[in-house]
Amino acid sequence: MKPRIFITRKLTEEAVAPLHEKFDVRMWDEESVAVPRAVLLKEVAEADALWSVLADSINREVFEAGTKLKIVANMAVGYNNIDLEAAKEYDVIVTNTPGVLTETTADLAFALLLATARKLISAENEIRKGNWTSWAPMRFTGMDVGGATLGIIGMGRIGEAVARRAKGFDMQVLYHNRNRKPDAEAEYGLEFRELDTLLKEADFVIILAPFTPETAGMIGVRELDLMKNTGVLINVARGGIVDEAALYDALKNGTIWAAGLDVFEKEPVPLDHPLLTLPNVTVLPHIGSASIKTRLAMMNLNAQAITDVLEGRKPKGIVQ
């Protein structure tokens, strides 16, 4: 009998086709609807490999049900949706997709920064609503990006790629990590700052750290207070890193000037979320890695990791 793979989202046939010959592939048949929990638990019980996306909670319950499971391949670089402790206990390998999405996500982070600073989306909406009556001296005005100071929290692969883009805009680039990166400092002219100092000095703050117990709620009332009132916060990492209630107050009260968010505590962000009522928030539906080429590269990495594990080889991209 062929080993069984369960894929939790409808993926493009191009990525899945190579698996059919060697494996028994089962796949949830919706692209924009998450697999129901009961279906996931039933399918995982028969699966040797699980191919998940970041919207799936792969918690202890899943590992308990997956008695034959050898690998969870997650279609994301972040893996905060997976209980790594349970994976270890049940001896299941977990893989992610680092590297292949770095430049694409950095493009999106920079695009969101520009869009938020220059109010691109609300300006376009005004045209479509018929509200562009004449050129107006101070209407649609935003913040300059060129020559401004950028603070990056989480100077990893994507952080460095954003820093390189920022250098093309003549920005001063500050960063905060738990460990300093002397090589990147020398190569890209980055300057290390403690978190509070970075928040005080930066015109733009971009979060690019993973979601961990340490980073959960890392940006709250106190941190937003430290930012400039002309400051812009961009979050392309994970929603739970920013306290959304505190962010709402900071944006409403003018503690900071604007925010650009690709990620939310709860996704999809509920339509009645208070942040969506504010004019100074630019929102995107978690599309950091969403280019055709990159999404295919992520799928290929996952498919290769599953093939490797099911054929007894060590896969690339093991997260534990």
Q: Could you tell me which stretch among 128-136, 172-180, 275-283, 305-313 binds ligand NAP (CB under 6 A)? A: 172-180
Q: What is the dihedral of CA 101, 104, 106, 110, to 10 degrees?
A: -160
The answer to whether 155 contacts ligand NAP (rule: CB under 6 A) is yes
Residue among 289 and 307 whose Cβ is closer to ligand NAP:
289
The answer to whether 210 contacts ligand NAP (rule: CB under 6 A) is yes
- When binding is defined by CB under 6 A, the residue of 128, 129, 178, 314 that contacts ligand NAP is 178
Q: Which residues contact 100 (CB under 8 A, 6 or more apart)?
A: 294, 297, 298, 301
Report, in Å, the least distance between residue 186 CB and ligand NAP. 16
Q: How far apart are CA 45 and CA 57, in angstroms?
A: 16
Single out the residue of 60, 30, 16, 24 nearest to residue 43, CA to CA: 24
Single out the residue of 48, 66, 58 nearest to residue 5, CA to CA: 48
Side chain identity, residue 310: L
Q: How far apart are CA 250 and CA 39, in angstroms?
A: 41
Alpha helices for the chain (secondary structure H): 13-20, 37-44, 60-65, 84-89, 102-117, 120-128, 157-168, 182-188, 195-201, 221-226, 244-252, 292-310
Q: How far apart are CA 123 and CA 297, in angstroms?
A: 34
The answer to whether 198 contacts ligand NAP (rule: CB under 6 A) is no
Q: How many residues bind ligand NAP (CB under 6 A)?
A: 32
Report, in Å, the least distance between residue 211 CB and ligand NAP. 6
Residue among 187 and 214 whose Cβ is closer to ligand NAP:
214
Q: Could you tell me which stretch among 32-40, 116-124, 207-215, 303-311 binds ligand NAP (CB under 6 A)? A: 207-215
Q: How far apart are CA 319 and CA 82, in angstroms?
A: 10
Single out the residue of 148, 55, 154, 151 nearest to residue 102, CA to CA: 154
Cα 316 from chain centroid? Answer: 21
The answer to whether 77 contacts ligand NAP (rule: CB under 6 A) is yes
- When binding is defined by CB under 6 A, the residue of 52, 74, 116, 289 that contacts ligand NAP is 289
* Neighbouring-strand partners of residue 191: 174
Task: Tell me the torsion sign for CA atoms 52, 315, 18, 76.
Answer: positive
- When binding is defined by CB under 6 A, the residue of 83, 286, 303, 305 that contacts ligand NAP is 286
Site for ligand NAP in 13-32 (CB under 6 A): none
Per-position b or e across 101-140, b if 16+ CB within 10 A of its CB? bbbbbbbbbbbbbbbbbbbbbbeeeeeeeeeeeeeeeeee
The answer to whether 176 contacts ligand NAP (rule: CB under 6 A) is yes
Residue among 52 and 102 whose Cβ is closer to ligand NAP:
102
**Catalytically active residues, by annotation:** 238, 267, 286
Residue among 119 and 238 whose Cβ is closer to ligand NAP:
238
CB-nearest residue to ligand NAP: 156
The answer to whether 103 contacts ligand NAP (rule: CB under 6 A) is no
Residue among 149 and 289 whose Cβ is closer to ligand NAP:
289
The answer to whether 288 contacts ligand NAP (rule: CB under 6 A) is yes
The answer to whether 214 contacts ligand NAP (rule: CB under 6 A) is yes
Report, in Å, the least distance between residue 73 CB and ligand NAP. 16
Q: Which residues bind ligand NAP (CB under 6 A)?
A: 77-78, 98, 101-102, 105, 153-159, 176-179, 208-212, 214-215, 236-238, 262-263, 286, 288-289
